[in-house]
Every structure is written in C-alpha cells, then in structure tokens.
Amino acid sequence: MAIELPVKQMTVEEKLRAMDLLWEDLRKDEKNIPVPQWHKDLLKERERLVRENKASFSDWETAKKRIGKSIREN
C-alpha cells in the first residue's frame, strides 16, 4: 500500500503529530518491532550511567515538550 503525505506542506507540529500517531500504533504490538543489538547495548550503557548518578532520564511527555519548545525557538 502506497501512502503519500503532503510532507512539504506540513508544519513541524503536524509532522511531529503524524510521527506520534505512528509510534502509538506501533507500540500496540511492540514484540514485532526488531531491536538491533547496538540499541540494546546503548540502553544498557545509559542505564549504567543512571545507576552511577552520571545521567538521568526524562519521561516521554516531558521530553516531547522539551523537543517541541526547542523546535519552536529555532
């Protein structure tokens, strides 16, 4: 099935919303999403840094707001 979106005419907010809708749909069946080893390794490293208080996580809603604010400011 070919899907065409008017990407060039979409605002950044519309593009982000489209991406968010796709991710929400993909999350419904996470076990079918392949995860490459490099990504697993990266997550393990980040978890180690958090355990050692050298990094911290943001929840997804906070991160999306921060990303959106950064985009609007630029």
Residue 23 lies in a domain: yes
Predicted pLDDT of residue 14: 95
User: Do the Cβ atoms of 27 and 35 come closer than 8 Å?
Assistant: no
What pTM, to 2 d.p., does this model score? 0.47
Residue 69 lies in a domain: yes
Tokens of 40: 């697993």
Looking at the structure of the chain, the number of domains it has is 1
Residue 44 lies in a domain: yes
Predicted pLDDT of residue 30: 83
How far, in Å, CA of 29 to CA of 66, rounded?
27
Residue 61 lies in a domain: yes
How far, in Å, CA of 74 to CA of 68, rounded?
10
Taking only the tens place, the pLDDT of each residue in 2-26 is 989 999 999 999 999 999 999 999 9
Residue 64 lies in a domain: yes
Residue 1 lies in a domain: no
10 backbone φψ class: left, alpha, beta (φ>0; ψ -120 to 50): beta
User: Do the Cβ atoms of 68 and 15 come closer than 8 Å?
Assistant: no
Residue 18 lies in a domain: yes
Range of the domain at 64: 9-73
Residue 3 lies in a domain: no
